[in-house]
Structure 1
Amino acid sequence: MGSLHLALLSISCLVSLLVVGLALVVRFKSPNPRAREESENYYLCIDEKHERQRLGDINSEPTVDLSIIVPAYNEEERLPVLLNDVHDYVNSRRTREPGFSYELIIIDDGSQDKTSEVAMEFAQIHGIRELKAVKHVVNRGKGGAVTQGMLCAQGRYMMFCDADGATQFSDIDELLERAKISERDGLVIAIGSRNNQALSGTVVERSHVRAFLQWGFHTYVTILGVRGVRDTQCGFKLFSRKAARLVFPKMHVERFIFDIEILLLARYQDIPVVEVPVNWHEVAGSKMSIVRDSIQMALDLLAVRLNYLLGNWTVSDNR
């Protein structure tokens, strides 16, 4: 009887510790996005006035075919590669579709270098009036930068891509094609995937360490209930405007794990999600610490799942 009592007491202690641990995760790891500073409601471009312009609103009617949002933190060295890639793509597409319109929104997320200046200089040299540079007063994180960019985008379709140019930008055509096929009632999300290249002929170049970490993270994500997506973290995702309206105003996460919240919100609101193979290569200069940020992402993901499961965060259908 004593052994049974001791066993029950041990189980009770373990359960109590688990409950306390989960409560601490929710209490201290739940994100609390800050409101925009007044200056963050404006962007710079190379118009005739050379004045700041007021940002748009995701709830307005679209004015361009495609919005491209680029979150950038201390990316003065790597950003030009992406800008050249986008510029080449736009020129090629306008040859095929003379009426194609777009906007390129660079979200400088509190950089300490010349990220904004590099973007504006590129726009000036190439005469790109569609480039809009937004400067955050304080760094939010990649997810926060993407969300803020999406909330002001004016495209019929809206996408975000990483500033390092790791993904071949012309792959956007495949995402758009697959999105239009899978779109339902104006809703669709097409996400680039680095995990099914063997079936598609696309090229993915990554270190063995990153490949192992991605496998481990994917397993963890699956355990926590986000299933059916091979590559949740690829920074190359496309949204119909209606889908973006249902997702981004509800976002909480501003750090690396924001991709998971996007997929959760898509699932909760029955938004079709299609994975599309993309060409990707690892680029030196990542701001991510493999050990520190992997632990941070694991805790953040647990906090996200707990908040939705406990009803602290709710999803109302405002379509």
Structure 2
Amino acid sequence: MFFLEALQLISFIGGLLLAALLLLLYYVQKSVTTALPMIKRNKLEKYYFNPNTKLDEAFPSIDDEPSVDLSVIIPAYEEEKRLPSMLTESVCFLEERIKDGKFTYEIILVSDGSRDGTAKIGHEYSKKLTTEKFRVLNLLENRGKGGAVRLGMLSARGRNLLFADADGATKFSDLEKLEYGMKAFTADWRKDGLVVGSRAHLESEAVASRSLFRTFLMHGFHLLVWVFTVRSVRDTQCGFKLFTRSTARKLFHIMHVERWAFDVELLYLAERLRLPISEISVNWKEIDGSKLTPFWSWLQMGIDLLLIWFRYTTDIWQIPNKRHDN
């Protein structure tokens, strides 16, 4: 009898401590963030350099009407070694496509506070292709991959917008697979659609080549993603995603996370807004030179993931124009 009473008292005190801890966490998080993101952009970051005219010209806004078929957004932080091969592959593919005269594109390279020759490589392409096809968004300070992608998207002219990693790990021609998947939703940029490139079909191969520790981290992260945030997509982190302009407008104006876990928040928001999402298998290979450090990067992403869930669940972060049938 005494043992049961002691157990009940311990449970009661534990419950009070947990409630107090959650309440403290709520007020701390409420004080350090805002319901909607405050998107910071230096005045100089609103312009791109035109190497042919030697002038700075203003980026458009995603809220404007589109003027090209496809925008390719490439976030790059000190990628002068891996970037050239990726740009060669993507430009060759896109230039081949425009030969029929029915397709137009732009590439926006977002140099995320790079101190190496990343921006210089981009300007060489701007000079060769002209800024009608290739523009460099040079961020003065490192914002994080999510922040770089967001500002690139908000500066784009495309009816559809592709986010592609600078390492070239995904075969660029697999864009056709994503476009085919998008056609199942819509051929109209005014309507919603999000197609996610996926490496889920390569998971067994990845497990075989990775250490037990990295495999544990990978599975642990996937479990947290499924439990707390995204359930319709198996691979949230592949850097190859295609958006209609309508969907990009909805998501990138309200996304908060600017570091590695931004993909999770984007997909979480898309699910909460009930936007059409499709996951398509792509060809992918690991490229040396990743900025991710296995333990600390996964730890940071795990913390960000839990904060995404907590902040949206408690309405610290809010979703405007959320459909009432959710």
TM-score by length of structure 1 reads 0.89
Task: Report what 1:268 is aligned to.
Answer: 272
Q: Does 1:236 align with 2:240?
A: yes
Task: Report what 1:14 is aligned to.
Answer: 14
Deviations 1:263-298 (A, max 9, x none): 111112111000011000001111111101111111
Superposition CA RMSD, Å: 2.6
Task: Tell me the secondary structure at the aligned position of residue 266 of structure 2.
Answer: helix
Q: Does 1:139 align with 2:142?
A: yes
Q: Does 1:43 align with 2:30?
A: no
Describe the shift of the 1:166–1:34 C-alpha distance in structure 2 as closer, same or farther (beyond 3 A). same
Name which of structure 1's ranges 170-179 and 215-224 shifts more when overlaid on structure 2.
Answer: 215-224
Q: C-alpha distance in 1, partners of 2:243/2:290?
A: 25
Task: Tell me the secondary structure at the aligned position of residue 263 of structure 2.
Answer: helix
- Out of 297, 300, 303, the position equivalent to 2:304 is 300
Is the 2:198–2:280 contact (alpha carbons within 8 Å) kept by the matching residues of 1?
A: yes
Describe the shift of the 1:180–1:239 C-alpha distance in structure 2 as closer, same or farther (beyond 3 A). same
Is the 1:30–1:300 contact (alpha carbons within 8 Å) kept by the matching residues of 2?
A: no
Task: Report what 2:219 is aligned to.
Answer: 215
Task: Report what 1:104 is aligned to.
Answer: 107
Describe the shift of the 1:122–1:59 C-alpha distance in structure 2 as closer, same or farther (beyond 3 A). closer
Q: Does 1:167 align with 2:170?
A: yes
Q: Does 1:76 align with 2:52?
A: no
What one-letter code is carried by the residue in structure 2 that aligns with 1:40? E
What one-letter code is carried by the residue in structure 2 that aligns with 1:280? W
Is the 2:229–2:264 contact (alpha carbons within 8 Å) kept by the matching residues of 1?
A: no
Task: Report what 1:247 is aligned to.
Answer: 251
Q: Does 1:4 align with 2:8?
A: no
Deviations 1:145-177 (A, max 9, x none): 111111111100001011100000010011011
Q: Does 1:86 align with 2:77?
A: no
Structure 1: segments with no counterpart, 5+ residues: none
Q: Does 1:154 align with 2:157?
A: yes
Q: CA deviation at 1:12?
A: 3.5
Structure 2: segments with no counterpart, 5+ residues: none
How many aligned positions are there? 313
Q: C-alpha distance in 1, partners of 2:138/2:130?
A: 21
What one-letter code is carried by the residue in structure 2 that aligns with 1:239? F
- Out of 187, 191, 194, the position equivalent to 1:189 is 194
What one-letter code is carried by the residue in structure 2 that aligns with 1:301? L
Describe the shift of the 1:72–1:17 C-alpha distance in structure 2 as closer, same or farther (beyond 3 A). farther
Identity %: 39
Name which of structure 1's ranges 129-138 and 11-20 shifts more when overlaid on structure 2.
Answer: 11-20
Is the 2:144–2:258 contact (alpha carbons within 8 Å) kept by the matching residues of 1?
A: yes
- Out of 111, 115, 118, the position equivalent to 1:115 is 118
Describe the shift of the 1:17–1:208 C-alpha distance in structure 2 as closer, same or farther (beyond 3 A). farther
